[in-house]
Amino acid sequence: MFRNLGTRAGRTELSVLELQGSGAGRGCFQSVFSTWVPASAVPRVTSWLTDSLGFSLADTKTTATLHVINQELNIHYSIALAMERGIESTSSLRKVKVGGARFHSVALLAAPKQLDLRLKMVAQSNDRYQQEALACDTDAHSTARRVAAAVRMEGFEGFTRSKRGLPRNRHLEYARRKTKFVYEGYLPTSGGGGQRLRVSVTQVQDDKGTHFEISGEEARHPGGPR
């Protein structure tokens, strides 16, 4: 997907030089990958899936992820919660995953009107380091259980406002709640045959508000691809 195409919008071909200049400066067109869709378009999409294509709602799942920083040890970890049938009072702890300490990265960009070359330097950590990081933060798991209990009592929005349950020097970096509706169906293709697809319509709630994301993939069966 591209934005700021201008007069290029009606063309079917772009030169190599134009592609190399994508996003090179102010006023240039930019390539964008996004599954974001306007809320107003969601009913039309779901109606098209179910009424026109014959897809059916196969699964619904609500989860929440809360990212916490131990400011004393500079350890970042995420707390994943599951909400049965989307009811916040049923919130249960799924897992605690450490992100480790945040290290600096460096990106080098090519000069204007040249190919966009980037070098990114990121420190790597292994499973042993992650285990050690959580071991250093001795109350990480108890904090996660307290957060789950607070969400059950106050709800997702209530907890993100009050932050009750977080120990001293623990900072809630951001929180995200997702409700995913999964539709499955068979899409015929020209020339005969077709493909079984799975389309996910996800409502995402965070500190910036609520938005929707739509993505699709080949539907795979438990025994493997058909």
Tell me: the pLDDT tens digits for 193-211?
778 889 999 999 998 889 9
Please give the Cα distance from 49 to 55 (Å, whole number).
5
Angstrom distance (rounded) from CA 108 to CA 157: 40
Q: Is residue 124 part of a domain?
A: yes
State pTM to two decimals: 0.66
C-alpha 115/C-alpha 134 separation (Å) is 42
Average model confidence (pLDDT) for the chain? Answer: 76
- Please give the pLDDT value at position 164: 85
What pLDDT is attached to residue 31?
43
Q: In the predicted model, is pLDDT for residue 1 greater than 50?
A: no
On whether residue 211 sits in a domain, the answer given is yes
* Nearest-angstrom CA–CA distance, 199 and 55: 9
Does 59 score more than 90 pLDDT? yes
Q: What percent of the chain has pLDDT over 70?
A: 63
Domain containing residue 137: 35-218
Q: How far is CA 144 from CA 88, 93, 150, 221, in A?
A: 16, 7, 10, 34
Identify the H or E element spanning 223. Answer: none
pLDDT of res. 175:
95
In a domain, 160, yes or no: yes
Residue 116 Cα distances to 28, 106, 108, 111, 113, angstroms:
14, 15, 9, 8, 9
More confident residue, 116 or 62: 62
Contacts within 8 Å (CB) and 24+ apart, 183-190:
183/46, 183/49, 183/50, 183/55, 183/56, 183/57, 183/58, 184/55, 184/56, 184/58, 184/219, 185/49, 185/53, 185/54, 185/55, 185/56, 186/54, 187/53
- In this prediction, residue 112 carries a pLDDT of 62
Cα separation values, 83 from 64, 131, 165, Å: 8, 26, 19
For residues 162-176, give the mean pLDDT.
Answer: 90
Give residue-wise pLDDT tens across range 11-27: 444 454 444 444 444 54
Q: Is the pLDDT of residue 218 over 50?
A: yes
Q: Is 3 domain-assigned?
A: no
* Mean pLDDT in residue range 111-116: 60
Overall number of domains in the chain: 1
Q: CA of 161: how far to CAs of 36, 129, 211, 218, in Å?
A: 26, 32, 19, 39
Report the greatest alpha carbon distance in the chain: 64
Q: Is 53 helix (H, G, I), strand (E, B) or coil?
A: coil
